[in-house]
């Protein structure tokens, strides 16, 4: 089929292809044959959407194919919004972008009002890639026309979508921080969400100074969601711990413990035992974690196990670790929905590798280090990935290594080279 340049040509082509006369199409669609003829010839510049949909359905023209030329001639924003709603679930991102561009170009409404309406409609779209493309469209349009509130709002929304790609956590964090320059155009609630998301993002990247500063700013803004507020406090609490500020850790921990959320008890116990071990009370920390282990929720189990393994390695109590490693199947069955959970699984295999190396089981240790490196790479923690790879290479020459393990290492490095990492 030749390229059809107009809506009228498209309709005439499909009508002739089906050998349907104007009179017959009039009868089938209840659209006057003279109007059909004028649509085909281009005399009617902007036919009604209702008429076009009737004709398209009768002639079995694919809806997306029909809408492509129709939106070229349609200027009424209310009609274009109707079309956008109809294609909410379409995978044709280019068509949706074309519809959205036409909406913003509509001469029938004020541009700020059009941007506001389009921004609101995007929230109902489920496909993240489609939402991302449309928010980016608003970012570009709002920047060009100085509509700064919706430039900032859409910039925030693009960040919230992009940050779900765990393999690009570093680059999305840097781009996310760019929103801070435009925070004056966000509502207090939007600022709270922005700071909270950036704080947890920084924490996942082990940027604890950033996580504390951003988390405290989140708490200064309006956070209406109870869990989000609790999580912000806990992020700041643990950020201070890893920075070595234990008094501030205790202050925020006391605030966190005031929440009645189901995860608070287990999380607070983990942080309390971290403080105990930081003060040299390793045995008490181990005892308290051991006591809580059978009762902790799935979300906390991995963190409790990792902390116990760490403490037992520090105190050289290797005989107690085998029991913890028997929980591995359960740990792997718990969904890892956040970058932090992925990094904790990586840490588990890193600690297991340390254990095997201490037992002189070099091959098993290297296998665990390699698994840890792979998991760190999935959440863009390249420093920790490199640490595991250094441990792998350091232990390679300690004894003769099975060829299959050498092959795994070669495949791993070949894959990194292929990706350009």
* 28: pLDDT strictly greater than 60: yes
* Res 395: pLDDT: 83
pLDDT (mean) for 45-71: 91
Per-residue pLDDT of 307-330, as tens digits, reads 999 999 999 989 889 999 999 999
State the pLDDT confidence band at 3, using cuts at 50, 70 and 90.
Answer: low
pLDDT at 268: 95
Categorize the per-residue pLDDT at 223 as very low, low, confident or very high, splitting at 50, 70 and 90.
confident
Contact status, residue 266 vs residue 244, Cβ threshold 8 Å:
no
Whether residue 30 contacts residue 2, with contact meaning beta carbons closer than 8 Å, is answered with: no
216-224 — which CB contacts under 8 Å span 24+ positions? 217/191, 218/192, 221/188, 221/189, 221/191, 221/192, 221/195, 222/188, 222/189, 222/191, 222/192, 223/189, 223/192, 223/193, 223/196, 224/189, 224/192
Decide if pLDDT at 339 tops 60: yes
pLDDT per residue as tens digits for the range 272-289: 999 999 999 999 999 999
pLDDT in tens, 357-386: 999 999 899 999 999 999 999 999 989 998
Task: Determine the pLDDT at residue 417.
Answer: 46
What whole-number percentage of the chain has pLDDT above 70?
Answer: 94
pLDDT tens for 172-192 read: 999 999 999 999 999 999 999
Single pTM value for the model? 0.84
404 pLDDT more than 80: no
Residue listed under structure tokens 């009868």: 27
Check pLDDT > 70 for residue 401. Answer: no
When the pLDDT of each residue in the chain is averaged and rounded to a whole number, the result is 91
> Is residue 93 scored above 70 in pLDDT?
yes
């Amino acid at each position: 089929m030749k390229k059809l340049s107009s809506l009228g040509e498209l309709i005439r082509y499909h009508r002739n292809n089906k050998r349907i006369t104007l009179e017959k199409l009039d009868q089938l669609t209840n659209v006057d044959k003279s109007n059909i003829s004028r649509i085909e010839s281009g005399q009617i510049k902007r036919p009604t959407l209702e008429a076009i949909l009737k004709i398209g359905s009768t002639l079995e023209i694919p809806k997306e194919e029909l809408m492509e030329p129709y939106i070229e001639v349609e200027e009424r924003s209310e009609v274009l919004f109707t079309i956008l709603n109809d294609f909410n679930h379409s995978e044709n991102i280019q068509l949706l972008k074309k519809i959205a561009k036409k909406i913003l170009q509509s001469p029938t409404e004020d541009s700020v009002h059009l941007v506001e309406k389009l921004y609101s409609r995007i929230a109902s779209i489920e496909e993240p890639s489609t939402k991302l493309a449309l928010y980016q469209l608003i970012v570009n349009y709002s920047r060009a026309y100085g509509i700064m509130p919706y430039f900032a709002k859409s910039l925030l929304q693009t960040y919230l979508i992009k940050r779900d790609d765990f393999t690009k956590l570093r680059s999305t964090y840097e781009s996310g921080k760019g929103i801070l320059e435009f925070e004056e155009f966000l509502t207090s609630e939007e600022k709270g969400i922005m700071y909270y998301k950036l704080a947890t993002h920084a924490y996942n990247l082990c940027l604890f100074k950033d996580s504390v500063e951003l988390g405290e700013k989140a708490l200064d803004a309006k956070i209406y969601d109870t869990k989000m507020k609790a999580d912000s406090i806990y992020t700041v609490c643990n950020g201070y711990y890893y920075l070595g500020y234990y008094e501030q850790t205790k202050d925020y921990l006391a605030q966190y413990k005031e929440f009645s959320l189901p995860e608070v008890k287990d999380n607070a116990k983990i942080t309390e035992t971290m403080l105990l071990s930081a003060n040299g009370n390793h045995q008490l920390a181990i005892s308290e974690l051991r006591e809580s282990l059978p009762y902790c929720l799935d979300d906390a189990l991995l963190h409790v196990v990792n902390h116990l393994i760490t403490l037992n390695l520090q105190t050289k109590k290797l005989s107690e670790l085998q029991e913890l490693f028997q929980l591995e199947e359960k740990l792997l069955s718990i969904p890892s929905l956040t970058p932090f959970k992925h990094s904790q699984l990586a840490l588990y295999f890193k600690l297991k590798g340390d254990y095997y190396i201490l037992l002189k089981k070099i091959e098993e240790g290297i296998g665990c280090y390699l698994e840890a490196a792979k998991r760190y790479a999935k959440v863009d923690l390249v420093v920790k990935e490199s640490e595991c790879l250094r441990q792998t290479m350091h232990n390679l020459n300690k004894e003769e290594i099975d060829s299959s393990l050498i092959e795994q290492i070669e495949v791993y490095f070949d894959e990194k080279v292929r990706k350009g990492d």
